[in-house]
């Protein structure tokens, strides 16, 4: 599930390529060009129009939008798995001392 969407200005191919190179393999990240209509031609109540996103795209050439509805289950699952692996390693010296 997509947790972060990077929206890149239509003409900013350098930023798009840079984000693709650094984050393009992340399973929960999407990198897209801004497909919204320019301010002068927008519909009266375009739901995708957010002033803070417009400001970021104008200032940096890109903005990131986070999906707050998605649970970070992947991170929790990964952390739990890593913790269990480490616990097994930590137990190993104790188990070896009992076997002697």
Q: Each residue of 51-77: pLDDT tens digit? A: 889 899 999 999 999 887 655 566 667
- Is-contact 1 29, C-beta < 8 A? no
* pLDDT above 90 (res 85): no
What six digits make up the tokens of 17?
A: 């390529």
Please give the backbone phi and psi of residue 62, each rounded to the nearest 5 degrees, phi first.
Answer: -160, 165
What six digits make up the tokens of 36?
A: 């919204």
Domain count, the chain: 2
Quick one: which H or E segment has residue 7? Answer: strand 4-8
Look up the pTM and report it: 0.59
Q: Tell me how far apart the alpha carbons of residues 43 and 41 are, in angstroms, rounded to a whole number.
A: 7
- Domain range holding 75? 70-100
Give yes or no: residues 54 and 81 share one domain.
no
Give yes or no: residues 75 and 60 share one domain.
no
Q: Are strands 4-8 and 29-33 parallel, antiparallel or unpaired?
A: parallel
Give yes or no: residues 60 and 75 share one domain.
no
Give yes or no: residues 82 and 98 share one domain.
yes
Dump pLDDT digits (tens) for 15-57: 999 999 999 888 889 999 998 876 655 555 555 567 889 899 9
């Amino acid at each position: 599930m997509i947790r972060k969407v990077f929206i890149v200005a239509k003409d900013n191919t350098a930023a798009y390529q840079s984000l693709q190179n650094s984050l393009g393999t992340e399973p929960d990240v999407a990198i897209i060009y801004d497909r919204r209509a320019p301010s002068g031609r927008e519909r009266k109540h375009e739901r995708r129009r957010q002033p803070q996103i417009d400001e970021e795209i104008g200032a940096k050439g890109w903005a990131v939008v986070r999906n707050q509805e998605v649970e970070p289950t992947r991170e929790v699952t990964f952390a739990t798995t890593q913790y269990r692996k480490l616990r097994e390693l930590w137990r190993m010296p104790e188990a070896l001392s009992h076997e002697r």
